[in-house]
Amino acid sequence: MPEDPEVNQNRFGTGVGNNTQRRLGNVNDQSKCACSCGCITAEDPRFAELKSYIDSLNQEQGITMPVLQEAQRSFGYLPLEVQKFISENTGVPLAEIYGVATFYSQFAIEPKGRHHIGVCMGTACYVKGSQKVLDKLVEELKVKVGCTTSDGKFTLEATRCLGCCGLAPCIMIDDDVFGKLDDVSRIPDILGKYE
């Protein structure tokens, strides 16, 4: 992590402070990056894809959300590199992009696991024991809520109502919903289906 504010100024031009950068992690600085998450480089072909997606929306108004959603789908999360790229290509200030990316719970600033587990914490699920389901997943995956397993396979999150209240308690893994999990012993089998 570069501590010298000068370095920050040079890299971002827009004056992203040290605090912000600490929260964002060190994904922006390739030369100093020591992580093993397969960091995104400027040559990444996904940037070109994102650029053509942005160009395809040229005539539209209010494209920030669709572009961020596409970027999140493609990269899996929204590191500063990507936010900066979007800012440069849409003309929306980086501060605004960052503001939007951090406002909505579905945008991630840090990398996520290959599979996303959302435990429904809607009212129907809550009164029918979704806390027990969440506890079981914490125990099975050995991971805290909001975090990713050490093998990068699953990210565990408590989520808003999935609208399957008739099948409470339920969870959603990627786009699939599993319901009636009163019997938490079913959970290991469900997790076993994912690679």
Rule CB under 8 A: which residues touch another protein?
61-66, 68-69, 92, 96, 99-100, 103-107, 118, 121-124, 126-128, 159-168, 170, 172, 175-180
Q: How far is the CB of 16 from another protein (least distance, A)?
A: 18
State the distance between the two ends of the chain, measured CA to CA, in whole angstroms: 33
Contact 106, 70 (CB under 8 A): no
Q: Helices 94-103 and 64-75, interaxial angle, to 10°?
A: 70
7/167 with CB nearer another protein: 167
Q: How far is the CB of 85 from another protein (least distance, A)?
A: 16
Q: Is 117 helix (H, G, I), strand (E, B) or coil?
A: strand
Q: How far is the CB of 18 from another protein (least distance, A)?
A: 23
Q: How far is the CB of 194 from another protein (least distance, A)?
A: 16
How far is residue 176's CA from residue 185's CA, in Å, rounded to a whole number?
A: 19
Q: How far is the CB of 185 from another protein (least distance, A)?
A: 14
2/129 with CB nearer another protein: 129
Q: Which two tokens stand for residue 45?
A: 């072909």
33/57 with CB nearer another protein: 57
39/164 with CB nearer another protein: 164
The CA-based diameter of the chain, rounded to the nearest angstrom, is 56
As to burial, measured by CB atoms within 10 angstroms (0-12 exposed, 13-18 middle, 19+ buried), residue 18 is middle
67/143 with CB nearer another protein: 67
